[in-house]
Amino acid sequence: MRYLIRRLLSLIPTLLGVTIIVFLLLRLIPGDPAVAMLGEHASQENVQRIREQLGLTRPLFLDREALKQGDFKGFLDSQYLRFLGRLVRGDLGASIHRRIPIAQELAQRFPATVELALAAMAVAVAVGIPIGIISAARRNTWIDSVSMVGALVGVSMPIFWLGLMEIMLFAVILNWFPIGGRLDHAIEVRRITGLLLIDSLVTGHWAAFWDAVKHLAMPVLALATIPLAIIARMTRASMLEVLQEDYIRTARAKGLHQRLVLFRHALKNALLPVVTIIGLQTGNLLAGAILTETIFAWPGIGKWVYDAIVGRDYPVVQGGTLLIALVFVLVNLLVDLSYAALDPRIRYE
Amino acid sequence: MSERPVFAELPRRRRTLWGDAWRRLIASPTARLGMAIVVTFVLGTVLAHFLWPYDPKTDLDYSLKLKPPTLRPTPDVPSIHPFGTDKLGRDVFRRVVHGGWNSLRVGVISVGISLIVGGLLGLLAGFYESVPLTAGERMGLMAGIGLALGSVPAWIAAQPVQAVLFAALGALSASVAVSWPNGRRWRILPLAGLLIGAVPSFFVSPYVALVNGLLGLTIGGILVFPLGGPLFSNIVMRVMDIILAFPSILLAIAIVAFLGPGLDRAMIAIGFVGIPTYARLMRATVLSLVQRDYVLAAQAVGSGHTRILFRHILPNTLSPIIVQSTLGLGSAIIWAGALGFLGLGAIPPEPEWGAMLGDSYRFLTSGAWWAVTFPGIAIMLSVLGFNLLGDGLRDALDPRLTR
């Protein structure tokens, strides 16, 4: 309990730091941000509108001129504190070009990214952990060598290129899967959770479920490759370490079946470091989604952030970056807490 | 016939740390493969860069656009293009070879940035976390803290002198006042802070004097505590945690998105997001070294901290750093490719693997597989090479991990 409170308190400086970094990103733009977003030939009033929206007319952190006059409210009325105040209310500003609220659009698109990331992580865990266990159990056999070389190739894989190769093979040559998108335009699913697989299952819309699976297959395969390879390597290394422990030797000496030793005795302890890796990789999945979603025209956050980068719609890039970072921080918090819950030896004091 | 015993004839093999590691490295077939790939990649790109000039601006031929790979001249395509041509009729093979130069540059420079900044921060954080500060170092640290904290009131009043005064207050607290009893420290230091903040600010405006007086009081209160190395380490690692709160590739993309595209900016962004990795690794390594006998011995004979850090500790952190840098080169190449693919890396005519993919992937549906396949294979192979070599180095440099 005390650990929980301490861990939650340690979030405060991290979150403040995250908001400062995201806020300062706008300062990296060479020249006037408003002009950079709208282009050289923008009208004066448009530039002024953007300056007002972004609060560029105010000082960065504190207004010392206002303080000189004794205006304490004006002293605190700065770009950063305005940004922070709006954030607390869940307001991320509006898109420059489409003039829609960013938070709303992000919420709309978030389920698509989550569905992709969760599906990829599920595949990575479901395939990676068994591969790691088998490699460790059959150490130094051909199965081990093949899967570990495969895992190393997987770690070295640029996923954007893998995605393109999949499109070439499965969509262009074999014509098995659709080339992009999330669902066929002709099909509609009632939105409940926003995760198409779940929504179509709940409503019993089988055609939609099948179509969603077909759309998911290629991006999931691309996105799952790296975490799969990393999980397999980690599981193997961790299993090998646990298998050398005394209690495993005791279990074997008792004459327990190999399978029982592996799954009942070894796996439980070997999975702890794997849980950490799964948490860390979830963040990378969300970030990697920028590449995967762009290739597969997946209507999630990543694709939107990419479009915003191309269109110099900087507030959108800020909002997307902030959302992904917040989710990442939250996932890491959950991993830390589950770690403490899973291993009774760990007592954070 | 010689009377000498046989073993005297055998040359005695000299054993050194690095020699042993090298022998273990070349004994592993996967490490040899990795080394072969890395050497081919480095030699190929460096030789091509210097001996096979290429000007991406003039290398266009619209009559040859998107031609499949050819190994001998045909009437249709008079020149040889082993990897085909791209949408502007440029030879993909040539661009892949020259693109390697850019990938290698990004890799080396960005890893260099992360290594130097992160390594130094981690080295100092780890060392001063466990070794007590000398009097001079504590004075420097507390003056630095005073300066950093004091820059806030100094900025508000637009009087740089205040920051200097707070730095002096920090130094005072660490030197003269160290012998004072606690009660006296508590009375004098916050009061001095209050005066430093309020009095000069009064010339600006009474409101500024009020705010700065409060700030000065707080800073003075902070400076009462004998702040030491663990605090420094804590600050450094908290900042690293903040950078690590972003998935690294996301932060790199965001930084370049705001800075504007360019290979140099990609290097800076990739280097920046890599800093925490090296800082954490270095700190952990230093923490494990500081209690070793030879470091304690060096302290006992009175070696200075600089000497201990750079003569005794730094050389022993090399093996994990070498492993991490080799693996880091691989990921830097992937990230550079990702940035290039998103149009944030190399600026167009310049050849770069990721940018080549981004240029050509629209033509995939019309069957132009070669313009996408070969740059991608180049990325994957070179990264695989660095990863194989890195894994091999890890096993070779840390024999405890194997068997």
**Tokens of residue A113, six digits:** 């990214």
In this complex, do B254 and A317 lie within 8 Å of one another by their Cβ atoms? Answer: yes
- Chain B residues with CB under 8 Å of A64 CB are 155-158, 208
φ, ψ of residue A342 to 5 degrees: the values are -75, -35
- Supply the pLDDT for residue B403: 36
Are the C-beta atoms of B222 and B174 separated by less than 8 Å?
A: no
Host domain of residue B316: 25-129+266-403
Tell me if B291 is assigned to some domain. yes
| Model pLDDT for residues B5-46, shown as the tens digit of each residue | 555 555 666 777 778 888 888 888 888 888 888 898 888 888
Give CA angle at A162 (A335, A112), nearest 5°.
50
- Chain B residues with CB under 8 Å of A19 CB are none
Task: Check pLDDT > 50 for residue B259.
Answer: yes
Are the C-beta atoms of B137 and B124 separated by less than 8 Å?
A: no
Contact pairs from chain A to chain B, CB under 8 Å: 158
Who wins on pLDDT, B25 or B384?
Answer: B384
Q: Which of A152, A284, A328 sits opposite B384 (nearest CB)?
A: A152
Are the C-beta atoms of B358 and A161 separated by less than 8 Å?
A: no
pLDDT band for B110, please (50, 70, 90 cuts): very high
**Tokens of residue B208, six digits:** 């500024």
Three-state DSSP class for residue A13: helix
**Tokens of residue B20, six digits:** 């042993």
Residue B1 contacts by C-beta under 8 Å, 6 or more apart in sequence? Answer: none
Three-state DSSP class for residue A298: coil
- Chain A residues with CB under 8 Å of B341 CB are 160, 291
Q: How far apart are CA B101 and CA B52, in angstroms?
A: 12
pLDDT band for B243, please (50, 70, 90 cuts): confident
Count of domains for chain B: 1
Are the C-beta atoms of B212 and B201 separated by less than 8 Å?
A: yes
In this complex, do B379 and A161 lie within 8 Å of one another by their Cβ atoms? Answer: yes
Burial letters for B285-306: b for 16+ Cβ neighbours within 10 Å, e otherwise? bbbebbeeeebeebbeeeeebe
- Supply the pLDDT for residue A65: 67
**Tokens of residue B145, six digits:** 């803290």
Residue with tokens 């050194």: B16
In this complex, do A309 and B253 lie within 8 Å of one another by their Cβ atoms? Answer: yes
Give CA angle at B65 (B60, B68), nearest 5°.
125
Which of A300, A14, A305, A21 is CA-nearest to residue B253?
A305
Residue A189 contacts by C-beta under 8 Å, 6 or more apart in sequence? Answer: A183, A196, A199, A200, A203, A205, A208, A212
The proportion of chain B whose per-residue pLDDT surpasses 90, expressed as a percent, equals 4
Are the C-beta atoms of B278 and B111 separated by less than 8 Å?
A: no
Residue B106 contacts by C-beta under 8 Å, 6 or more apart in sequence? Answer: B263, B266, B267, B270, B332, B333, B336, B345
Give CA angle at A124 (A329, A8), nearest 5°.
15
Write the Ramachandran bin of A93: left for phi over 0, alpha for psi from -120 to 50, otherwise beta. left
Q: How far apart are CA B147 and CA B223, in angstroms?
A: 11
Are the C-beta atoms of B278 and B118 separated by less than 8 Å?
A: yes
Tell me if B229 is assigned to some domain. no
Who wins on pLDDT, B276 or B218?
Answer: B276
Window from B31-35, B247-251, B397-401 with minimum mean pLDDT: B397-401
Residue with tokens 């074997």: A252
**Tokens of residue B160, six digits:** 């740089």
**Tokens of residue A319, six digits:** 């909002």
Q: Which amino acid is at B70?
A: T
How many other CB atoms are found less than 10 A from the CB of residue B245?
Answer: 21
Q: What domains can be seen in chain A, in order of their start residue? A: 2-88 (no CATH), 105-342 (1.10.3720.10)
Q: Which of A75, A314, A328 sits opposite B258 (nearest CB)?
A: A314
**Tokens of residue A192, six digits:** 């409940």
In this complex, do B245 and A309 lie within 8 Å of one another by their Cβ atoms? Answer: no
φ, ψ of residue B91 to 5 degrees: the values are -70, 120
How much is the ipTM here?
A: 0.81
Q: For residue A94, what are the β-bridge partners?
A: A101
Tell me if B168 is assigned to some domain. no
For B240, name the nearest residue in chain A, comparing CA atoms only: A14
Three-state DSSP class for residue A94: strand
User: What rounded mean pLDDT belongs to chain B?
Assistant: 79
- Supply the pLDDT for residue B93: 76
**Tokens of residue B326, six digits:** 């080799």
| Model pLDDT for residues A305-331, shown as the tens digit of each residue | 888 888 778 888 888 888 888 888 888
In this complex, do B372 and A21 lie within 8 Å of one another by their Cβ atoms? Answer: no
Look at the alpha carbons of A40, A45, A48, A53 in this order and tell me if their dihedral is positive or negative.
negative
Q: Write out chain A's pLDDT in tens, 349 residues.
A: 677 788 788 888 888 888 888 888 877 777 677 777 777 777 777 777 777 776 676 777 776 666 666 666 666 677 788 778 888 887 777 777 777 888 888 888 888 888 888 889 999 999 999 998 888 888 888 888 888 888 888 888 888 888 888 888 887 778 787 777 777 766 777 677 767 777 777 777 777 777 778 888 888 988 888 889 999 988 888 888 888 888 888 888 888 777 778 777 788 778 888 887 888 788 778 878 888 888 888 888 888 888 888 877 888 888 888 888 888 888 888 887 777 777 666 555 4
- Chain B residues with CB under 8 Å of A26 CB are 258
Q: Which amino acid is at B64?
A: L
In this complex, do A67 and B207 lie within 8 Å of one another by their Cβ atoms? Answer: yes
Look at the alpha carbons of B91, B97, B98, B99 in this order and tell me if their dihedral is positive or negative.
positive
CATH code of the domain covering residue B362: 1.10.3720
Q: How far apart are CA B324 and CA B335, in angstroms?
A: 16
Alpha helices by DSSP H, chain A? 2-25, 33-38, 44-54, 64-68, 72-76, 79-88, 102-137, 142-155, 159-166, 196-202, 206-243, 246-253, 258-260, 267-295, 301-310, 314-342
Q: How far apart are CA A187 and CA A78, in angstroms?
A: 48
Q: How far apart are CA A171 and CA A297, in angstroms?
A: 14
Q: How far apart are CA B193 and CA A143, in angstroms?
A: 69
Q: How far is B175 from chain A (nearest CA, A)?
A: 31
Q: Which of A18, A67, A314 sits opposite B245 (nearest CB)?
A: A18
B230: number of CA atoms within 13 Å, CB side? 3
In this complex, do B156 and A172 lie within 8 Å of one another by their Cβ atoms? Answer: no
Q: How far apart are CA A243 and CA A262, in angstroms?
A: 8
Q: How far apart are CA A274 and CA A228, in angstroms?
A: 11
How many other CB atoms are found less than 10 A from the CB of residue B166?
Answer: 30
Q: How far is A161 from chain B (nearest CA, A)?
A: 6
- Supply the pLDDT for residue A349: 45
Which of A104, A141, A92, A17 is CA-nearest to residue A317?
A92
Q: How far is A19 from chain B (nearest CA, A)?
A: 10
Q: How far apart are CA A85 and CA A300, in angstroms?
A: 26
Look at the alpha carbons of A144, A145, A146, A147 in this order and tell me if their dihedral is positive or negative.
positive
In this complex, do B207 and A18 lie within 8 Å of one another by their Cβ atoms? Answer: no
- Chain B residues with CB under 8 Å of A21 CB are 242-243, 246, 251
- Chain A residues with CB under 8 Å of B249 CB are 284, 287-288, 290
The proportion of chain B whose per-residue pLDDT surpasses 70, expressed as a percent, equals 87
- Supply the pLDDT for residue B111: 92
**Tokens of residue B100, six digits:** 């390697």
Q: Over chain B, what HEC string results?
A: CCCCCHHHHCCCCCCCHHHHHHHHHHHCHHHHHHHHHHHHHHHHHHHHHHHCCCCCCCCCCHHHCCCCCECCCCCCCCCCECCCECCCCCEHHHHHHHHHHHHHHHHHHHHHHHHHHHHHHHHHHHHHHHCCCCHHHHHHHHHHHHHHHHHHHHHHHCCHHHHHHHHHHHHHHHCHHHHCCHHHHHHHHHHHHHHHHHHHHCCCCHHHHHHHHHHHHHHHHHHHCCCCHHHHHHHHHHHHHHHHCCCHHHHHHHHHHHHCCCHHHHHHHHHHHHHHHHHHHHHHHHHHHHCCHHHHHHHHCCCCHHHHHHHHHHHHHHHHHHHHHHHHHHHHHHHHHHHHHCCCCCCCCCCCHHHHHHHHHHHCCCCCCHHHHHHHHHHHHHHHHHHHHHHHHHHHHCCCCCC
In this complex, do A17 and B239 lie within 8 Å of one another by their Cβ atoms? Answer: yes
In this complex, do B205 and A149 lie within 8 Å of one another by their Cβ atoms? Answer: no
Question: Residue A307: is it exposed, middle or buried by C-beta count within 10 angstroms (0-12/13-18/19+)?
Answer: middle
